[in-house]
C-alpha cells in the first residue's frame, strides 16, 4: 500500500509540473504579438533524490525547476546600440532636410546674381532712374534673402531646442521607471524564482531609453539594469535615477545646453559631449550642420556688405554727395545676415546710389559702379568670391544632410538585422508553441492515466482486506 500511495504522490507532483508547463505555453501564445515580450520556457526536471527500494532507486516523478526567459545577452547588447544609432541618424537627417533656403531655385544665390546683373545694366546708363530703381530693388531683395535664410536657420535651431526640452520628460520618466523596476525585481528574486514579466517590462523601457538617448545597459552583481549615456554619464544606478534638464547657453546664441542631476542627487551639472539616440541627433543637427551654415551665412553677409560698402562709400551720388554706405550691416559677423538691410536713404531716393568716382563726373560716370560690379570676382575672407562662397556653403550643407541620410539607411539595415536576431531568440513561434502544447497535453493525459491505474490497484488491495 505504501508503494501505491507513493505512486499517487509522485504523480500528483508531476501533474503540477505539467500544469505549469501548459500555463507557460499558454502565456507564450497569448503574448505572441505583445511588444517587448520574450518567450518563456518551463524547465521540468526529475525529482532528486530518488527513493531507495531494496537495492534499486525508484524515481520520484518530476518537478517544475524554473520558468526562464529566452534572451541572448550578446544580442541585447547590440540592440541598445542599434536602437540608439538609428534614432540618432534619423533625427539628424529629418532636422537637416527641413531647410529649404539652400534650394538652387531661390534664396541668396540667385539674389546675388541678380544684384550684379542689375548693377551691370545700370552701368550702361548711370543716370537712368528706372535702372537705379531696379538696382536698389535687387539690393533689397538680396538683403531680404540673407534675412530669410538666417531666420530659417535660427528658427530651425530654436525649434530643435523645443524638441530637446520636450524629450526630457519621457527620458526622466523612463529612467525613474527602470530604477523602480530594479528594486521590484531585486525584491522578487530575493523570494526565489525569476520575475519574467517584470524583466520584460524593464527591457521594454530600456529599449525606449536607448532610442531617446543612446544609453546602454551595464549590469551589476545584483543584476540591476544600470543605464549609461555614450559619454559615460549615468542615467540609472540601481534604484536611483538621474534627472535631465536644460539651461540657455550664452556661448551658443542662447540655445539650450543639457544638464544632469546625478542619481546620487548631486548637481545639476553640465553634460559635456553629446548624448546619443534621438536626443543626440537633435543636438548634432542643431550644433553641427545648422550651426555651421548659420555661421557661414552670417560671415558671407558681413564680408560681402562691407566689401560693397567700402566701394560705395568712396563713390558719389547724383547730387555730388559721398561717404554713404549701401548696406546697413552689424559690427560683427554674428547675426549679420539677419540684420542686413539697404540704407533707407538710398531706398527712399535712388539718386543717392553712388555710381561716379567724383562729383565732377556725375551723372554719366560709372567708374565707381564698375568697382562695385568687380566685387563679384573679388575674394572674401573665405578666399572665394561671394557667389562661390555661397555655393560652398550650400555644398557643405548638402553633404552633411546627405551623409546623415546615408548613415540612417545603414543604421536601419543594422537595426533590422539585430531585431531579426532578437526575434529568432526571444520571439514566440505559434507553431512551436502548439507542438509544445500538444506534448504537455499528452504528458498530462499519461500522468492522469497513472493516477487512475494506481487508484484501481489501491481499490483492489482494499477489497482484499
Model confidence at 161, pLDDT cuts 50, 70, 90, reads very high
Strand bridging mode 51-53 / 56-58: antiparallel
| pLDDT for the residue numbered 57 | 65
Tell me the per-residue pLDDT of 33-51, one tens digit each, with 9 for 90 and over: 988 899 998 888 887 766 6
| pLDDT for the residue numbered 379 | 96
pTM: 0.86
Most confident of 49-63, 217-231, 411-425: 411-425
Tell me the per-residue pLDDT of 345-388, one tens digit each, with 9 for 90 and over: 999 999 999 999 999 999 989 999 999 999 999 999 999 999 99
Q: How many other C-beta atoms lie within 10 A of the C-beta of residue 67?
A: 17
| Residue 83 pLDDT greater than 60, yes or no | yes
Burial profile 194-222: b = 16 or more Cβ within 10 angstroms, e = fewer: bbbebbbbbbbbbbbbbbbbbbbbeeeee
Cα–Cα distances in Å, from 112 out to 117, 193, 338, 377? 9, 73, 16, 12
Tell me the per-residue pLDDT of 9-42, one tens digit each, with 9 for 90 and over: 677 778 888 888 899 899 989 999 988 899 998 8
User: DSSP label at 191?
Assistant: T
| pLDDT for the residue numbered 284 | 96
Cell, residue 365: 560716370
Residue scoring higher pLDDT (422 or 58):
422
Tell me the per-residue pLDDT of 92-145, one tens digit each, with 9 for 90 and over: 999 999 998 887 667 899 999 999 999 999 999 999 999 999 999 999 999 999
| pLDDT for the residue numbered 198 | 93
| Residue 1 pLDDT greater than 60, yes or no | no
Report yes or no: 299 and 338 within 8 Å, Cβ to Cβ.
no
Report yes or no: 436 and 20 within 8 Å, Cβ to Cβ.
no
Mean pLDDT of 234-259: 95
* Average pLDDT of the residues of the chain: 91
Model confidence at 56, pLDDT cuts 50, 70, 90, reads low
H helix or E strand, kind and range, residue 240 = strand 240-241
Half-sphere exposure of 318 (CA within 13 A, CB side): 14
- Burial-class residue 288 by CB neighbours within 10 Å (0-12, 13-18, 19+): middle
| pLDDT for the residue numbered 38 | 92
Percent of the chain scoring above 90 in pLDDT: 72
Report yes or no: 173 and 250 within 8 Å, Cβ to Cβ.
no
Query: What DSSP letter does each residue of 421-433 carry, written as one string?
Result: HHHHHHS--HHHH
Cα torsion angle, 215, 217, 220, 225, sign: positive
Mean pLDDT of 232-239: 93
Mean pLDDT of 315-335: 96
Q: How many other C-beta atoms lie within 10 A of the C-beta of residue 264?
A: 10
| Residue 191 pLDDT greater than 90, yes or no | no
Percent of the chain scoring above 70 in pLDDT: 95
| pLDDT for the residue numbered 54 | 64
Beta bridge partners of 428: none
Beta bridge partners of 48: none
| pLDDT for the residue numbered 352 | 97
| Residue 73 pLDDT greater than 90, yes or no | no
Model confidence at 194, pLDDT cuts 50, 70, 90, reads confident
Domain extents for the chain? Answer: 2-70+427-464, 76-98+156-288, 111-154+295-405
Model confidence at 243, pLDDT cuts 50, 70, 90, reads very high
| pLDDT for the residue numbered 257 | 96
In the chain, what's the furthest Cα-to-Cα distance?
A: 145
Model confidence at 4, pLDDT cuts 50, 70, 90, reads low
Tell me the per-residue pLDDT of 87-107, one tens digit each, with 9 for 90 and over: 999 999 999 999 988 876 678
Amino acid at each position: 500500500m505504501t508503494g501505491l500511495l507513493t505512486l499517487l504522490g509522485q504523480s500528483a507532483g508531476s501533474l503540477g509540473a505539467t500544469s505549469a508547463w501548459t500555463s507557460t505555453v499558454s502565456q507564450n501564445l497569448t503574448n505572441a504579438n505583445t511588444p517587448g515580450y520574450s518567450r518563456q520556457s518551463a524547465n521540468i526536471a526529475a525529482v532528486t533524490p530518488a527513493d531507495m527500494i531494496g537495492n534499486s532507486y525508484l524515481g520520484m516523478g518530476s518537478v517544475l525547476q524554473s520558468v526562464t526567459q529566452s534572451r541572448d545577452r550578446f544580442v541585447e547588447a547590440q540592440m541598445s546600440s542599434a536602437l540608439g544609432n538609428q534614432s540618432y541618424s534619423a533625427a539628424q537627417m529629418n532636422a537637416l532636410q527641413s531647410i529649404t533656403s539652400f534650394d538652387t531655385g531661390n534664396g541668396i544665390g540667385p539674389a546675388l546674381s541678380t544684384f550684379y546683373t542689375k548693377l551691370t545694366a545700370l552701368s550702361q546708363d548711370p543716370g537712368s532712374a528706372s535702372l537705379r530703381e531696379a538696382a536698389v530693388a535687387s539690393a533689397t531683395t538680396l538683403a531680404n534673402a540673407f534675412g530669410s535664410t538666417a531666420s530659417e536657420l535660427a528658427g530651425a535651431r530654436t525649434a530643435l531646442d523645443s524638441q530637446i526640452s520636450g524629450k526630457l520628460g519621457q527620458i526622466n520618466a523612463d529612467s525613474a521607471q527602470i530604477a523602480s523596476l530594479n528594486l521590484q525585481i531585486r525584491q522578487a528574486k530575493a523570494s526565489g524564482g525569476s520575475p519574467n514579466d517584470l524583466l520584460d517590462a524593464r527591457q521594454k523601457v530600456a529599449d525606449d531609453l536607448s532610442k531617446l538617448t543612446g544609453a546602454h545597459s551595464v549590469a551589476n552583481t545584483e543584476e540591476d539594469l544600470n543605464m549609461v549615456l555614450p559619454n559615460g554619464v549615468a542615467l540609472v544606478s540601481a534604484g536611483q535615477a538621474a534627472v535631465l534638464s536644460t539651461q540657455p547657453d550664452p556661448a551658443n546664441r542662447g540655445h539650450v545646453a543639457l544638464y544632469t542631476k546625478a542619481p546620487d542627487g548631486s548637481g545639476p551639472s553640465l553634460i559635456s559631449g553629446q548624448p546619443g539616440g534621438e536626443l543626440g541627433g537633435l543636438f548634432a543637427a542643431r550644433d553641427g550642420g545648422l550651426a555651421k551654415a548659420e555661421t557661414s551665412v552670417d560671415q558671407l553677409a558681413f564680408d560681402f556688405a562691407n566689401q560693397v560698402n567700402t566701394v560705395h562709400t568712396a563713390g558719389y551720388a547724383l547730387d555730388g554727395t559721398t561717404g554713404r554706405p549701401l548696406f546697413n550691416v552689424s559690427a560683427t559677423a554674428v547675426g549679420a545676415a539677419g540684420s542686413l538691410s539697404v540704407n533707407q536713404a538710398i531706398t527712399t531716393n535712388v539718386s543717392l546710389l553712388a555710381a561716379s568716382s567724383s562729383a565732377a563726373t556725375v551723372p554719366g560716370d560709372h567708374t565707381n559702379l564698375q568697382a562695385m560690379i568687380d566685387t563679384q570676382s573679388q575674394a572674401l575672407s573665405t578666399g572665394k568670391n561671394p557667389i562661390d562662397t555661397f555655393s560652398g556653403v550650400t555644398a557643405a550643407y548638402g553633404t552633411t544632410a546627405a551623409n546623415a541620410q546615408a548613415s540612417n539607411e545603414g543604421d536601419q539595415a543594422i537595426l533590422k538585422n539585430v531585431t531579426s536576431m532578437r526575434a529568432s531568440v526571444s520571439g514566440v513561434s505559434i507553431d512551436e508553441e502548439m507542438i509544445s502544447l500538444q506534448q504537455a497535453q499528452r504528458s498530462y493525459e499519461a500522468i492522469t492515466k497513472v493516477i487512475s491505474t494506481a487508484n484501481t490497484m489501491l481499490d483492489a488491495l482494499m477489497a482484499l482486506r
